Structure formats: C-alpha cells, structure tokens
Structure 1
Amino acid sequence: MNRRSFLKWSGFSLVAATLGGLGLREAHAGNRYYSGPISDHFDGKVFFNPGGEEPRGLSDLLRWQFGGGKMEWPKPVTAADVVTTKPEPRVEGSRLVVTMVGHATLLIQTAGLNILTDPVWSERASPVPFAGPKRNNPPGVAFDDLPKIDIVIVTHNHYDHLDVATLNKIVRAHNPQIITPLGNDTIIRAENPFSRTAVMDWGDRLDLEGGFVVHCEPCHHWSARGMGDRRMALWAAFVIETPGGKIYHIGDTGYAEGKHYREVREKHGDIRLAIMPIGAYEPRWFMKAQHQNPEEAISGFRSSGAAFGIGHHFGTFQLTNEGIDDPPKALGVAMSAAGIGADRFKGLRPGQQFEVPRAGA
C-alpha cells in the first residue's frame, strides 16, 4: 500500500471508529461493557433495535469510503471568527435557555439546573489525538466559561458523543451527576472510577432533586468504539421533566419510520422542547438506518408534538458526505414544506442561544 492509499485508509478508519467501529462482527463471545438479563433489546450479548435495521458491514463501509461524493469543507476557522458565549450562571424558574457548544454538545439551563449533553471539547472526535475528524470551529462556549455543571447526559459511546478527555476535565472541575445508558458507565468509570455515574436502561426513570425526572427512552442507533465491541453498550434518548415542562433530547438516531417519536408523545404527552440531530446523513443508502436527515427530523418533530425544536449534529466534525451548510439549508426547506416557522425550530450554530418560550406562549 503506497503512502497516499495508507493515508486514505487511515482517515476512513478513524471516521469509521468515530461513527462506531469498522462494521466487523464481534471478536469474542463476551460483552466487555455490560452483563445483564435478556430483554426485548438485549440478547444476552449485544443490544439491538427491536424490529429495526442493523448497521451495514465492512463491504458497504468500503464502498462508501472509496466511492467518492464527499463534499469538501472549508478550512477550520479560528476562535476570532466564531461567536462565543458566556452563559448565565443559572437560569431560574420556568425560563429555558439552550446554548450550542458544537455538534451534539449543548448546555440546557432551567429552574436553577445546568445540564450538559454529550460534551466534547477535544480537537478531534477520535480514539487518538493526532488523527481523525477535526473540529471545523472552536467550541461556542470556552470550557472555563461554563457555569457550574450539575448533570451530564451521555447518549452513547461513539467518539463524537463520549469523549473521555472532556469528561475527565468536567469531573475534576464540576463533579456532576453523569447519566448514561447501560454499558457506557464501564467506559466512563475506567477513566473516572470515582465519578458519580448513573446508568439507565430504556424505560427507566431517575428522580432528581428540585422536581426533575430523567426518563431513558429508545432511539434507533448503535454503538462501538473500535473493532470488536459493536453494540456492547446501549444507546438512548432522554426525556427530562422540569418544573417548566418536558425536554426530549436525542443524541443520534435513524428515523425508523418515526415510531419512537410517536411513542414518546403517547407516553409523555406535552413536550416543550425537542432536541434532535439533523446532520451526518449522506450517502443515504449507507446512513439512513443510523442518522436521520433534516426532512425526517422535521417529520419526527411534528410526530412528537413538541412545541419547539433544536437541530444539532452538523457543522463541527465532518463525518459523512454532505457539505458543511447542507443540513441547515435542507432544514429550511423541510420546515417551509411543513409550515413550521423559524421561531419554532432552530438549527443552532456554536455560540448561539435559544430562549425557549413556554408552550402555548
């Protein structure tokens, strides 16, 4: 293999690891992260999407990576070219303010509680610090400008969502309650054995102080951090009950005919805010089962019955084929077709904030 081929192979391998491994079958019979009873989404060895579609294998991965069609992103911008925000220390009462840090990292503030989702401040979403998908923009909130973090939600173990280096810093600086699905606690505790980590299965409920409740709910995705651990840790969405209304947060999901959106509406009723991914969706033949596109996101938003929405998972790490501005452009088209105004659903850029109105306001 010549140098150019090696670099291309190395690059796609790291992107594949970011998205969750190389599409290979498990290398051994055991599960390195979780041991528990068989359920409707765990077969005793690995987790799965009931009635859903499994991620594609190595041959399809190679077809995608060497098939061309990847749009060129602009060169990374510097901090001077990016809006940065210093959030309020606390947001009280029924006010709800969400600040975009970048990709799937958002700061949610309401009723005196500060919640951080899938925190990644590292330069790369990768298993190694010297290669792999690199940030196209600095975080919209400097790490030292974070308010005191009370809760961290980690939705699954892909490198663009579970960043151990960032979690280490957050644990040292804030000692928050970390909430994550089954098996991911093993990864987190391996680096932070004394972290306050609560682990949840789909359907579980966690009651917190101040009238907050966290529900762990299904989404259609998968997990892995390399070769040999595919689907050994669970992925999930979360519904957060707050004194000012419910927040539905999804880190990553395929649309799966919208069934999870309908189910969450049936179970949880009125939702004030839905936060969902709108990026990393091309080529469609490869990504459809794991990443919804903006049109599907808007369809899911409508099915959930949420009053307001935020789109994330675009513009920071180039993981797939679409251009850097394709997701927000496609989002605008989908919103217009669905008759949803710009005041109801926002694709936030790093540093941007959305003060969410009360439902019905």
Structure 2
Amino acid sequence: MTLKRIVGFAAGAIGITWVVRAAWGIPSAIGASMSAIQPRATGAVSYRDRQFHNTEPSTQIVAGSAVSLLYSMLTRRNAGHPRGVIPLYPPSAPVDAADLAVTWYGHATTLIEVDGYRILTDPVWSERVSPSTLVGPARLHPVPAPLSELPQVDAVLISHDHYDHLDKETVRELLQRQTAPFLVPIGIGAHLRHWGVPDSRIVELDWGASISLSELDRMRNGTDLTITCAEARHFSGRGLVRNTTLWASWSIAGPTRRVYFGGDTGYTKAFAQAGAALGPFDLTLLPIGAYDARWPDVHMNPEEAVRAHADLCLGDAGSGILVPIHWATFNLAFHGWSEPVRRMVAAARAAGTEVAVPMPGQRLDPNGVPPRDSWWEDVG
C-alpha cells in the first residue's frame, strides 16, 4: 500500500470516527417520540391537528427570507461573539431564600427567590445547546458555578423544549442532586420520563393552569407559592417535527411578591392579559436576544421587552424591575453581542422603566448592592 493510500485511509478513519462521536447520543437527547407525547397533548387548549398553536397568527420565518438568511449565515455567523472576555460573578446564596431576589446563570437559566422559596428556570449547564456534544452553539462564557453548588430548590420550571432551555444532561444531574418537582408545559413530561424522571416529580400544565407548591410538598410550613403556566408566543421541537409540545411563560406568586419568567417568546397581547389576571409583577425576567426581522413573531426585540414589562405591570412602565435574559451566553442570531442590552437600556430609559443587568452568576437583591452599570461595555 502506498503512502498516499495509507494517509487517505487514516484520514477517512478519523473522519468516520468524528462523525460517530458527533452523532453519539443524539436519539436520546432528542427525547420522546410523538406517540409518547400525544396522549398528554390531546385536549389541551391550543392543541389541534396533532400540533400546538399560538393564539395569534405567527410564522417562524418570514416568507421569502431564505436567500437573505443564507447570506447572513455566510457573512454574519460570528457577529454575536464578544470581542473580550465576559466577566463572571461567583454565585452566592443565603441560607434562607429572600422575599425577592434572582441569580442569573446565563441565557434563560435563573435562580429566583420569592417569599422564601427558590425556583430554578430553564436550567442548562451543558457546553452546547444541541443534541450533539461536538456540533451546535457553544457557550460564550463558562457556567458561573457547577451544578453541585446550587442550593436545594423548591421547583424547576421549563418554558419549552428547545435545546437552549431543556437540556438532557442537566435534567439527569438535577434528578440526582435535587428533590424538587419539574413544572413543565404539556407534552414535555414525555421527554423527562424518557430520560428517567419519575412521574412523581413531573407536573404538566396547560396555559392558564396553576398549582400551589403546598400541593406538592405537604411538609412545607409557612407561606405558600402559586405557579401559573402563562401563554407565550413561540414554537417547539427537538427534531424534524415541530410543535408537538407546548411552550409557556410562568407566573410565580407568593403572598407578598410576584415574578414573571418570560422564557422565550415573541411579543404578544398575552402579556397584558397576564398583567391583568396575575400581576402586577415586582420583577420580570424577559428575553431580549436572538431577534431578527425575519422571525419577528417568536423572539422579542429589546424595545418589545420593555413594552412587555409595562404590560405585565398593568401599563405602568415605571413599576417593578426588568431583568433581561436570553442574551450573552449563546450566539443564536446575527446581531452584535452587546446590541440587545444597549437597545434595552435605551428603551427603558425613555420609558422610565427600572432595569438591572447582572453579570452571569450575579445575585440581584433589590434591597442590596445594584449590578455595576454598563459592565457589558468593557466586553464589546
């Protein structure tokens, strides 16, 4: 065998090995089959023709955008990378949860404290948000702290089943390290069961449905917390089939404080409806990144997030605190890394809305030291 053939054979073997490694575990990461999901979905408010639907007319990609999207992928795929190093703040948690506080771990992963309870949202500790460990959007900054350092939580909320919000490996580790139930929109329970989460730790809710944490933990004494599955405007899917599971935002209401977790959503009239029915909210966690004019219905832009905050606070733009999420951690669109927060701050200033922008890992306590102003300007 000639040297050229040997080198070619070795290169081919390396290529095959890489493909096998990239594909390893993908079927498990994708989650449950449609046949496993459908029995739970049937009868849900927005479920028909074997799919969930938004209340308002929505499109995932504007018609005629294919060519411009391809051009953006070729020319602007790295536009969302920061020029400098994103600073991290070592997370800290008091022994007892506060009446109101939030720690932002990056993207949509937050640890919310409400009236003595701790609620974890959209936990993602993996390096990539993809069914593959080798291919897909990778972190722009490390996780601020390992999952082993997370304090015990009272509930885990999931907004929908996209990989940047529902991560198999994080779910499996939470299953071992925590005892809290998973509160999820209808259909996502099938993914959790597929990954080994027992039924006793899964609560599936439809839009408008609520549950009291005292119903889940009879041993808990003191104040109670009501968590409501709120309507969002988005889509779902972990494989080739879309919208087999529901997407949602969440209201977290205690006797003295209320928090709204937006998850991932386009702007919707449901914000004003949630404000009227469940608000006003003391704190809103709203997505500001991964927007584009070619998918306007499924991701809010920063100005819409400020408008949504006012809706959730009963039309009072100056009420409550807006904390941005869904930016800075993964490159999922074609805008600059700091563009979302710059635009949000400008829009909030014009509207008279109070905002707080923590570093990844930073705990925000409205009664404590506020985050350092404009830290993102040092990153670029």
* TM surpasses 0.5: yes
User: Partner letter of residue 119 of structure 1?
Assistant: P
Could you tell me which residue of structure 1 aligns to residue 202 of structure 2?
197
Q: 1:50 aligns with which of 38, 51, 55?
A: 55
Could you tell me which residue of structure 2 aligns to residue 249 of structure 1?
261
Report the more deviating stretch, 154-163 or 81-90.
Answer: 81-90
Helix, strand or coil at the partner of 1:287: coil
Structure 1 CA distance for aligned equivalents of residues 342 and 256 of structure 2 = 31
Deviation at 1:61, TM superposition (A): 5.3
Unaligned runs of 5+ in 1: 1-9, 22-27
Helix, strand or coil at the partner of 2:238: coil
Could you tell me which residue of structure 2 aligns to residue 315 of structure 1?
328
Helix, strand or coil at the partner of 1:349: coil
Q: 1:83 aligns with which of 86, 89, 94?
A: 89
User: Partner letter of residue 249 of structure 1?
Assistant: F
| Cα separation, partners in 2 of 1:103 and 1:43, compared to 1, 3 Å | same
Could you tell me which residue of structure 2 aligns to residue 5 of structure 1?
none
Deviation at 1:263, TM superposition (A): 0.4
Larger Rg: 2
Answer yes or no: is the 8 Å Cα contact 1:251–1:277 preserved in 2.
yes
Tell me, yes or no, if structure 1 residue 280 matches structure 2 residue 290.
yes
Could you tell me which residue of structure 1 aligns to residue 309 of structure 2?
301
Instruction: Calculate the aligned-residue CA RMSD, in Å.
Output: 2.6
| Cα separation, partners in 2 of 1:43 and 1:129, compared to 1, 3 Å | same
Instruction: Trace 1:86-235 onto structure 2 (pairs within 5 A).
Output: 86-92=92-98, 95-194=99-198, 196-209=201-214, 210-228=223-241, 230-235=242-247
Answer yes or no: is the 8 Å Cα contact 2:306–2:347 preserved in 1.
yes
Deviation at 1:31, TM superposition (A): 5.5
Could you tell me which residue of structure 1 aligns to residue 13 of structure 2?
none
Structure 2 CA distance for aligned equivalents of residues 109 and 224 of structure 1 = 30
Structure 2 CA distance for aligned equivalents of residues 234 and 188 of structure 1 = 14
Structure 2 CA distance for aligned equivalents of residues 153 and 192 of structure 1 = 17
Deviation at 1:356, TM superposition (A): 3.0
Unaligned runs of 5+ in 2: 1-18, 215-222, 314-318, 369-380
Could you tell me which residue of structure 1 aligns to residue 364 of structure 2?
354
Tell me, yes or no, if structure 1 residue 337 matches structure 2 residue 350.
yes
Report the more deviating stretch, 47-56 or 127-136.
Answer: 47-56
Deviation at 1:32, TM superposition (A): 4.8
Answer yes or no: is the 8 Å Cα contact 2:76–2:334 preserved in 1.
yes
Helix, strand or coil at the partner of 2:124: coil
User: Partner letter of residue 223 of structure 1?
Assistant: S
Structure 2 CA distance for aligned equivalents of residues 164 and 114 of structure 1 = 22
Answer yes or no: is the 8 Å Cα contact 2:88–2:359 preserved in 1.
no
| Cα separation, partners in 2 of 1:61 and 1:168, compared to 1, 3 Å | farther
Structure 1 CA distance for aligned equivalents of residues 142 and 342 of structure 2 = 22
Deviation at 1:89, TM superposition (A): 3.3
Tell me, yes or no, if structure 1 residue 74 matches structure 2 residue 82.
yes
Answer yes or no: is the 8 Å Cα contact 1:86–1:146 preserved in 2.
no
Normalised to the residue count of structure 1, the TM-score between the two structures is 0.82
Deviation at 1:212, TM superposition (A): 0.8
Deviation track 1:172-201 (CA, whole Å, cap 9, x = no partner) reads 001211000000110111002426010000
Helix, strand or coil at the partner of 2:54: coil
Deviation at 1:66, TM superposition (A): 3.3
Structure 2 CA distance for aligned equivalents of residues 299 and 252 of structure 1 = 15
Deviation at 1:296, TM superposition (A): 0.4
Structure 1 CA distance for aligned equivalents of residues 253 and 279 of structure 2 = 11
Answer yes or no: is the 8 Å Cα contact 1:90–1:114 preserved in 2.
no
Could you tell me the percent identity over the aligned residues? Answer: 29
Structure 1 CA distance for aligned equivalents of residues 198 and 245 of structure 2 = 20
Deviation at 1:34, TM superposition (A): 2.6
Deviation track 1:207-244 (CA, whole Å, cap 9, x = no partner) reads 1124111111101101011212x000000011111132
The alignment of Structure 1 onto Structure 2 pairs a total of residues equal to: 322
Structure 2 CA distance for aligned equivalents of residues 194 and 184 of structure 1 = 13
